[in-house]
Structure 1
Amino acid sequence: MGITWLRGNALRLLENGTEFFPALETAIDGATREVFVETYIFANDATGHRIAAALRRAAARGVCVRLLVDGFGGRDFVAHLLAPLAEAGVNVQIYRREVAPLSLRRHRLRRLHRKIALVDGRIAFVGGINIISDLDEPSFAGPRLDYSVRIEGPLLQPIHATVTHVWQLVAWASFRRRQPVAFAPLPPPATPGGIEAGFLIRDNLRHRRDIEDAYLVAIAAARREIIVANAYFLPGRRFRQALLEARRRGVRVTLLTQGWTDHPLQQYATRALYGQFLAGGVRIFEYHRSHLHAKVAVVDERWATVGSSNIDPFSLLLAREANVFVRDPGFASHLQARLERAMASGAREISADAWERGPRLRRILNWAAYGMVRLMIGIAGYGNRH
C-alpha cells in the first residue's frame, strides 16, 4: 500500500528528549478527554516517573488515559510502574507480555516497537523516542540522538485509527477484557498548516512492507542526495541495491550509523556491509558523541521520514512500527540541517581505504555476526522473505 498524502498539517520536528518530553508533558497536561500512549520502553527512571506523573494527573481530572507498553521492552515497567499507574486510574495494557525469556518462538520477536502519543484527537507525536532518559550514560558528551514529530491536522485521522485498532486487538486478546471499548470521537477535521504528510505502519497482516516500500520509492526517485540515519541498519538486498543504484545515477548517498551501541551483534553485522557500500561510493559516518537511536531519512531536501522503524529485519519483518512521511522542503531541509550538524559535531567518517586496510580478523567477526543475525531471523521463520 502506498502513502496517502494529506495536506494541511502543522508539523514540528523534536530532537532528543530535551525537546520531546516537555512537549509531550504539556500536551498531556492540556488533555480534556482522552490520551493514548504507545511505547516500546517505559523506564523506571526520572523521565519515566515524569511522564507517569503527567498521566496520573490527567486521569485524576477525569481524562480517559490509555497506555500500551510492549511486554519485552517494558519488562522494567511491568515490575515497577504498572501497578501504581493502574491504581491511579490509568488504563494499562501490555503487548505480548514476556513470560518465557529464553524462548525463540516466532511470536516472541513480534514486538510493539511504535512510539505514538495522541491527545484529544488534536495533537499527536510519532517518532523513535522511548520514554526513557536520554542522558543515561554519563561518559557520553551528549544525549541519545533521536527524533519525534509533533503533529496537528488531517494526519491525526489515520493515527487515531491505528491506535484505537491496536488497543482493541490487545483488549480482545485478554480473556478479562472482552468488552466493547468506547473511544472519544475525533474532533472536526482541521487544517492548521500547509504541510503535506502521510502515515504508514508495519504489521504482519496487510502492511508488511509499506514502510520499506515507501523508502524504496523515494530512493528510486532521488536525483541529488539521500541521507539515511538509522540506529540499527541492516538492510536486505533490495534496499542495498536501491542505494547503490542511486549512487550510480550520481546521487550523493550518506549513511549515519552507530559508533556506540547497546547491541554489539547488530553493529558488527552492519559493519559487514560497509565494504560493499564504500566500494559503491556511499559515504558512511559513525556517530560517537552518544547513542544514535534515530530512524530518519531525507531525500533531495524535499522528502523526509521520521519514525520508529529501523532498516533491519527485526523492524521490517517482525515488529509493529509507525513512520511519518513528509513532502515539504521546509521540514526536510530542517531535518537535514540537524543531521548535518550531528555528523559535523559527533560523527567520524569511515574512509574506503582505511576500511580495506583494516584487520582481517575484524572482517571475519563482522561476517560471523551478520550470519548470526540472519540465523536468528531464519529460526523465527522469516529468513527467506528478505
Structure 2
Amino acid sequence: MRFNWQEGNDVELLINGEEFFPRVFECIRAARKEILLETFIVFDDKVGQDLKEALIEAASRGVHVEMIVDGYGTAELSSDYIAELAAAGIVMQMFDPRPRLLGMRTNLFRRLHRKIIVIDAEVGFVGGINFGADHLADFGPLAKQDYAVQVRGPIVADLHRASRAILQHSPVTEPLPAIKPVTARAGNARILLSIRDNQTHRTDIEEQYIRAIRSANYRLLLANAYFFPGYRILRELRNAARRGVKVTLILQGQPDRAWVRALSVLLYNYLLRDGVVIHEYCERPLHAKIALVDKEWCTVGSSNLDPLSLSLNLEANLFIRDADLNQQLYEHLVELGNSKCQPVTLKVAARGYWWRAPLISASFHFLRHFPAIIGWLPAHTPRLEPVTDEVTPVDTDATNPELACSQEKSP
C-alpha cells in the first residue's frame, strides 16, 4: 500500500511514555465511533491496565474497538486481561500467532512491529512506543527513551486506510462502522505515511531515508536504537559527511541487549574516518527511531535501521516536512548529545580493528542475504487470529510486570 504526501496537517511530538500515554488515553476516552489500535507489545502492568480500562470504557459507550497485537511481542499476556476485553465486546487479534517448540517462541521474524492508533478517523498516533511501564522513567535504569507523534489533518485518512487494510486478513466478519475520515486542513505540515510490508513495499522506508540523506545540505541527525543498516544507507551517510554535511548519530550506549551495541560498534570505524560524529546515549536504553535533515525534513516511526525492520517486519513511519517540528527535534537531540551521551572517537573505534575487519565484512555479506535466507522458511502471509482466554499461552513471568518488561525482545 503506497501513499502520497499530504498537505495541511498538524503534528505534535510526544517524548517518552510520560507524554504519550496520557494523550492517547485522553483521546480514547473522547472517542465517539471507532478506535483502531495496532502495537507490537502490550504488557499487563500499570500502563497495560490503564489501556484496558480506557478501551473497556469506550466500548461501553458503543465505540467500536479493534485491537491488533503481535504474536511474538505480546505472546505472554494474561488470560484474565484478554477475558476482560472480551467481556466488554472487544476482540483482540494477534498477528501471526505460532505454537511454541520446546517452550520457545517460533515466530521470530516478520513481526507486526508498527505502532498505529487511529481514533474516529480524526486523530492518529505513530511512533515507537509500546504499551508497557518500561516506557516510563519510574521503571528504573531500564526505562526506554522513545518518541511518537500525534497528527490531525488529511494524513489521518491514510493512517485509517492502512489500519483497516490489515483487518482484511482477519477471520472476524463483524462489519466495521462506516466512517468518513476528517480531511480538513489542520496545520502546515506536509506528511507522508510509509508502510513496509513483505509483499510490494519491502524497501519503501529505506528508500525515503536514502532520498533524505542524499538531499542533506548541512545537517543530519539520526537517533536509532538498533543500528546496523545495509551498505546503501551507510554509504550515503559517509558520502554526506564527505561533502560537508554535519552527520551526527545517537546510538545505544546502554543497550537492553548486549549484541545491539556489539553490532553497531563494528561500523564505527567505517563512519568516523569520513567525519560522521557518533554519540552513545548512556543514561538508559535508547528506543528511538527518529531522524532529521536540514531545517524541514524529519521522521518518526517504528522502523529501526537493522535487518529485521528494513527487510522483514511490518513497519510504519511518518516522513514529515515541518520546520517547527524539525527545530524541536534538533534542539532536543543536541541537548541529548551534549548532556546524556558519550562521544565515540576514531582512536577508540580503531582499537582491535585489525581483527574486527574480517568480521565486519562477513557480517555485511551475511546480512545482505539475510532476508533471502529467511525466505527459505515457510512463506509468510499476513494472518490475524482472535485471541481468547482459552487458548492464550500464559507465562508465569507475565504476571510480574517488572520481570515481563525486562524481557522485551525487540525494538
CA–CA distance in structure 2, aligned partners of residues 199 and 5 of structure 1: 8
- After TM superposition, list the pairs within 5 Å mapping 1:23-38 onto structure 2: 23-38=23-38
1:186 aligned residue: 180
Superposed counterparts of 1:102-181, under 5 Å: 108-133=108-133, 134-135=135-136, 139-140=140-141, 143-169=143-169, 171-172=170-171, 177=172, 179=173, 181=175
Deviant stretches of 4+, over 3 Å: 101-105, 135-139, 357-361, 363-379
- The letter for the 2-side match of 1:86 is A
Q: State the match for 1:339 in structure 2.
A: 333
- What SS class does the counterpart of residue 344 from structure 1 fall into? helix
Distance in 2 separating the partners of 1:158 and 1:78: 33
Going from structure 1 to structure 2, the CA distance change for 1:288 and 1:373 (only over 3 Å counts) comes to farther
Normalising by the residue count of structure 2, what TM-score does the alignment of the two structures yield? 0.84
Task: Output the CA distance in 1 between the equivalents of 2:2 and 2:338.
Answer: 34
Number of the residue aligned with 2:208: 214
Which position in structure 2 is the counterpart of 1:97? 97
The Cα shift of 1:328 comes to: 1.3
For residues 80 and 258 of structure 1, the distance between their equivalents in structure 2, rounded to whole angstroms, comes to 36
- Cα distance in 1 for partners of 2:264, 2:125 equals 29
1:333 Cα deviation (Å)?
0.8
Q: Which residue of 1 aligns with 2:408?
A: none
Q: Give the Å deviation of 1:329.
A: 1.1
Q: 1:253 to 1:51 in 2, by over 3 A?
A: same
After superposition, give the CA deviation of every residue in 1:309-341 in whole Å (9 maximum; x if it has no partner).
Answer: 001110011111000111111111111111112
1:261 equivalent in structure 2: 255
One-letter identity of the residue aligned with 1:355: A
1:8–1:192 CA contact under 8 A, matched in 2: yes
Note the C-alpha offset of 1:145: 1.1
Q: CA RMSD in A?
A: 2.6
Q: Which of 289, 312, 315 lines up with 1:321 in the alignment?
A: 315
User: Corresponding residue for 2:285?
Assistant: 291
Aligned to 1:309: 303
Q: Contact 2:196–2:314 (CA<8 Å) still a contact in 1?
A: yes
Instruction: Tell me the distance in 1 between the aligned counterparts of 2:336 and 2:246.
Output: 18
Give the Cα separation in 2 of the matches to 1:258 and 1:82. Answer: 34
The code of the aligned residue for 2:328 comes to H
Percent identical: 38
d(CA) in 1 for partners of 2:330, 2:229: 21
Q: Does 2:267 correspond to 1:273?
A: yes
Q: Which residue, 195, 199, 202 being the options, matches 1:205?
A: 199
Aligned residue in 1 for 2:52: 52
SS at match of 1:117: strand
How many Å separate the matches in 1 of 2:347 and 2:73?
39
Amino acid corresponding to residue 49 of structure 1 in structure 2: Q
Distance change in 2, residues 1:27/1:272 (3 Å): same
User: Matched residues in 2 for 1:337 and 1:382: separation?
Assistant: 45
Give the number of aligned pairs: 374
Aligned mates of 1:238, 1:208 — CA distance in 2 = 15
Alignment check: 8 A CA contact 1:269 1:373 kept: no
Partners of 1:269 and 1:369 within 8 A in 2:
no
1:43 is the counterpart of 2:43: yes
Counterpart Cα distance in 2 of 1:182 and 1:268: 46
Superposition map of 1:359-374 within 5 A: 363=356, 367=360, 370=363, 374=367
Q: Which consecutive unaligned segments of at least 5 residues does structure 2 have?
A: 378-411
Q: 307-316 or 275-284, which moves further after superposition?
A: 275-284
Secondary structure at 2:77 match in 1: helix
Aligned residue for 1:92, secondary structure, equals strand
**Closer, same or farther: CA 333–3 of 1 in aligned 2, 3 Å:** farther
Separation in structure 2 between the aligned mates of residue 21 and residue 331 of structure 1, nearest angstrom = 20
Deviation at 1:198, TM superposition (A): 1.1
1:354, distance to aligned residue in structure 2 (A): 2.0
TM-score by length of 1: 0.90
Work out whether residues 271 and 366 of structure 1, in 8 Å CA contact, stay in contact via their aligned partners in 2: no
Cα–Cα, structure 1 residues 269 and 370, in superposed 2: closer, same or farther, change >3 Å?
farther
Q: 1: CA distance between counterparts of 2:176 and 2:3? A: 29
The verdict on how the C-alpha distance between 1:87 and 1:364 changes in structure 2, with shifts beyond 3 A counting, is: farther
Shift of 1:144: 1.7
Determine helix, strand or coil for the equivalent of 1:241: helix
CA distance, structure 2, for counterparts of residue 162 and residue 64 of structure 1: 17
